[in-house]
Amino acid sequence: MTETRIDEIGDRIYRLSTFVSSAGGPNGITFCEYLVDAEEPLLFHCGHRQRFPLGAAAVARVMPVGRLKWISYSHAEADEAGAMNEWLGAAPGATAFHGRFGCNIWLNDAAIRPPRAVKDGETIDLGGKRVRWIGTPHLPHCWDAGLLYEETTGTLFCSDLFAQPGEAALFSDGDILAPAIAFEAGAHATSLGPTTGKMIRKLADLKPRRLALMHGPVYTGDGAAALNALADYFDAELRAAL
Ligand SMILES: [Fe+2]
Ligand SMILES: [Fe+2]
């Protein structure tokens, strides 16, 4: 791990990306966090605690880290939330937020300041950008899981959905399903259950213009079609398992 890049992937939306050759299998894996620059800037995914200096230096190339107002993540894991308290420490005016489950089972206890609990479907007006919390329990995994949708740019921050190994390109409008299925077949990272396909189809209904992957490129093709195809895959897996 040598550097964290920061690239604008939409109007004032930035991707921090770090390729780690020693993680995620023989080809390494890329970890991405997303910065939404607005009147009240937001960071979605905190990155690993040990990568915080790299992440903070990357954000500082765009804006002072101390301007951050909101910090969130999909589910309590090291790549999602490991550096949360480092970010909260560097940005004294920032508040972490998560769904009710996430606050109750982890965040209320873990965060150095009281977090804000948001309801499924609740939006936060960042001033120039609006983010909607979408509760997705156990999708991609973990009870507390949720995703974030930025309404003004149609960007779905989709965490580990479509996760693929390797050094991720910045953008892709190619096939993100096949590499994700290949990775899933080996990693079994997704908590497969009766609501998996249904929740992914609900995400497809948003018709997102961009899918901002945590482990992979920013997908600029037909987001709804990709999500529906992913739901089809999981539905078939579930039927086969039954
Ligand atoms: Fe995860
Ligand atoms: Fe992840």
Q: Are strands 155-157 and 29-36 parallel, antiparallel or unpaired?
A: unpaired
Q: Which of 161, 167, 138 is nearest to 213 (CA)?
A: 161
Give residue 30 CA to ligand 2 midpoint distance, Å.
9
Distance in Å, CA 159 to ligand 1 centroid? 7
Which ligand has the nearest atom to the CA of 213? 2
32 CA distance to ligand 1 centroid (A)? 12
Note the ligand closest to the C-alpha atom of 32: 2
For residue 137, the CA-to-ligand 2 centroid distance in Å is: 15
User: Ligand 1 centre from 190 Cα, in Å?
Assistant: 9
Which residues constitute the domain of residue 127?
5-241
For residue 153, what are its two tokens?
């740019």
CA distance 176 to 227: 10
Pairing of strands 116-118, 123-125: unpaired
Q: Find the ligand nearest to 144 CA.
A: 1
Ligand 2 centre and the CA of 160: distance in Å?
5
Distance from the alpha carbon of residue 31 to the mean position of ligand 2, in angstroms: 7
Q: Which of 7, 80, 77, 72 is nearest to 44 (CA)?
A: 72
In this structure, what CATH number is given to the domain that contains residue 203? 3.60.15.10
For the chain, what is the domain count? 1
Task: Please give the C-alpha separations between residue 192 and each of 33, 118, 162, 188, 224, in angstroms, as whole numbers.
Answer: 25, 25, 14, 9, 20
Residues in the chain: 242
pTM of the model: 0.97
Name the closest ligand to CA 29.
2
Contact 47, 34 (CB under 8 A): no
Give, as residue ranges, everything with CB less than 5 Å from ion ligand 1: 77, 160
pLDDT in tens, the chain (242 residues): 579 999 999 999 999 999 999 998 899 999 999 999 999 999 999 999 999 999 999 999 999 999 999 999 999 999 999 999 999 999 999 999 999 999 999 999 999 999 999 999 999 999 999 999 999 999 999 999 999 999 999 999 999 999 999 999 999 999 999 999 999 999 999 999 999 999 999 999 999 999 999 999 999 999 999 999 999 999 999 999 99
